[in-house]
Amino acid sequence: MTQGGTNLPRVGGYNQAVVLDAIRTAGPVSRVELAPLTGLTSQTVSNVVRRLLAAGLISESGHAPSSGGKRRTLLSPRADGAFAVGVQLDPDAAVIVVVDLAGEVLASRRVKLADPADPAEVVKRVAAAAQRLTARTAVDPARLLGTGIATPGPIDATAGDVVSPPNFSGWGRVPLREMFAAATGMPVAMDNDATAAAIGERWIGGRARAGSFLFLYFGTGIGAGIVLNNTVLHGDSGNAGEFGHMAVQPGGRTCQCGSTDCVGPYVSPSGVMADLLERHGAATARRLGLAGTQESAHADWKALCRAARRGDPAAEDVIRSAAARIGRAARGAAALLDVDRVVLGGEALHGIESIMCEEVDAAVNTTSVARSIRRVAVERSVIGEAVGAVGAASLILHGTYAPGWRMLTQA
């Protein structure tokens, strides 16, 4: 998904990517441990490690305790080996971060979008803000790999376009990747926000996010990212994980897709707000300080989540019933995919993490067909609220350094 060439410290091959991934996931590790971890011979491991050291992507970081023989040198990833910019695009604002190879956020900024209906204006504003932010961090430009964009879907992954995203009114087919590449002069990678978040979680989560998991991303809507056996699933068109269109609510509200049984219209911030008005009335909304306008949607959602967290019965009621619906859909997805972990994250989850985790946990573990085999762990993102933007930056790091079939086919 990355385009354009660079003079950056690339790993330059599949074996290098495999070894770097093993060091990042299991590190600090010795050369001796790397052979069984990667399935490579000790001679190949030595050669690859030498190249990774020379590229500045790993460092020797002390010694393992001696077990009688020669002490083994430990290898760790070098945080300053490479950097990437991440942009999480939402209709009201963009969150921009600069991260290092370890996924540490060096700087971040939230930029209000003055005219979200105009893609050219959005790109110009965000690219300029990203350049200022990068300059402030004083990272070595030669080690800045590019910019990752996490955007609400749907996307055309091959072309790098977003295609009439329902949350950006007035956008038709927009060549977002190309526009950002032109505006930044750097390689750009793009994915839908939920998949980007899952990639970030996999990239940064180390052992805690090795294997398989379903990531539920809470933004303007709800989406899912899928990691199976350490591989991120994109699907044929790049739109795998359209969680909001899981059919769990027959005969209900009409979804943006035209169906009347999707979970999305019930669990998105606007859907939950509609629930509050339906079940508890306008007086309750006023009491909670919700303005109920299009412009106030972001602030209203935050206020509703705060109220639910402090135990306001009306707020908790509507959040809990949304969480239960999400749980039902997650149960189906977890059973279908055979994942042993469901991870929750995203900005819109702030304040309601406990309620969401409780309800999703209850749903996936009470009736899951897999419960006799193993319990499905329900956890919060290891990255936290910035998972969308950090995930976006990870698109670049993961795309450059994670072992993938593309490296084999290009080798």
Minimum CB separation of residue 256 from Zn ion in Å reads 6
Minimum CB separation of residue 167 from Zn ion in Å reads 14
Q: Which stretch binds Zn ion (CB under 5 A): 9-17, 109-117, 124-132, 242-250?
A: 242-250
Q: Which residues contact 390 (CB under 8 A, 6 or more apart)?
A: 86, 97, 99, 103, 105, 200, 204, 383
In the bound state with Zn ion, the residue whose beta carbon lies nearer, of 245 and 302, is: 245
Please name every residue paired with 107 in a beta bridge, in sequence order, or none if there are none: 98
In the bound state with Zn ion, the residue whose beta carbon lies nearer, of 268 and 400, is: 268
Rounded Cα distance, 391 and 127, in Å: 18
Site string (197-236) toward Zn ion, x via CB under 5 A: ----------------------------------------
In the bound state with Zn ion, the residue whose beta carbon lies nearer, of 255 and 285, is: 255
Minimum CB separation of residue 357 from Zn ion in Å reads 25
In the bound state with Zn ion, the residue whose beta carbon lies nearer, of 255 and 360, is: 255
In the bound state with Zn ion, the residue whose beta carbon lies nearer, of 98 and 255, is: 255
**Number of chain residues interacting with Zn ion (CB under 5 A):** 5
Q: H or E stretch including 119? A: helix 119-137
DSSP code at position 368: -
**CA distances from residue 233 to 58, 85, 304 in whole angstroms, order as listed:** 28, 23, 33
Rounded Cα distance, 105 and 89, in Å: 17
Which of 31, 245, 302, 380 is close enough to bind Zn ion by CB under 5 A?
Answer: 245
Neighbouring CB atoms inside 10 A of 324's CB total 17
Minimum CB separation of residue 193 from Zn ion in Å reads 17
Q: Which stretch binds Zn ion (CB under 5 A): 137-145, 157-165, 255-263, 370-378?
A: 255-263
Of 377, 263, 239, 398, give the one whose Cα is nearest residue 322: 263
Rounded Cα distance, 53 and 78, in Å: 9
In the bound state with Zn ion, the residue whose beta carbon lies nearer, of 179 and 262, is: 262
In the bound state with Zn ion, the residue whose beta carbon lies nearer, of 147 and 268, is: 268
Minimum CB separation of residue 154 from Zn ion in Å reads 11
Rounded Cα distance, 224 and 239, in Å: 10
In the bound state with Zn ion, the residue whose beta carbon lies nearer, of 9 and 265, is: 265
Minimum CB separation of residue 283 from Zn ion in Å reads 32
Site string (257-286) toward Zn ion, x via CB under 5 A: x-x--x------------------------
In the bound state with Zn ion, the residue whose beta carbon lies nearer, of 84 and 263, is: 263
Q: Are 193 and 37 in contact (CB under 8 A)?
A: no
255 is an interface residue for Zn ion by CB under 5 A: yes
Angle subtended at Cα 385 by Cα 381 and Cα 387, rounded to the nearest 5 degrees: 65
Q: Would you give the distance in Å from CA 174 to the centre of its chain?
A: 22
Strand bridging mode 161-163 / 155-156: antiparallel
Classify 206 in phi/psi space as left (phi over 0), alpha (psi -120 to 50) or beta. Answer: left
Please name every residue paired with 343 in a beta bridge, in sequence order, or none if there are none: 215, 379
Minimum CB separation of residue 140 from Zn ion in Å reads 45
Q: Which stretch binds Zn ion (CB under 5 A): 129-137, 172-180, 193-201, 254-262?
A: 254-262
DSSP code at position 207: G
Q: Which stretch binds Zn ion (CB under 5 A): 113-121, 247-255, 351-359, 364-372?
A: 247-255
Site string (383-402) toward Zn ion, x via CB under 5 A: --------------------
3-state secondary structure 124-174: HHHHHHHHHHHHHHCCCHHHEEEEEEEECCCEECCCCEEECCCCCCCCCEE
Minimum CB separation of residue 162 from Zn ion in Å reads 18
In the bound state with Zn ion, the residue whose beta carbon lies nearer, of 145 and 262, is: 262
Minimum CB separation of residue 261 from Zn ion in Å reads 8
Which residues make up the interface to Zn ion (CB under 5 A)?
A: 245, 255, 257, 259, 262
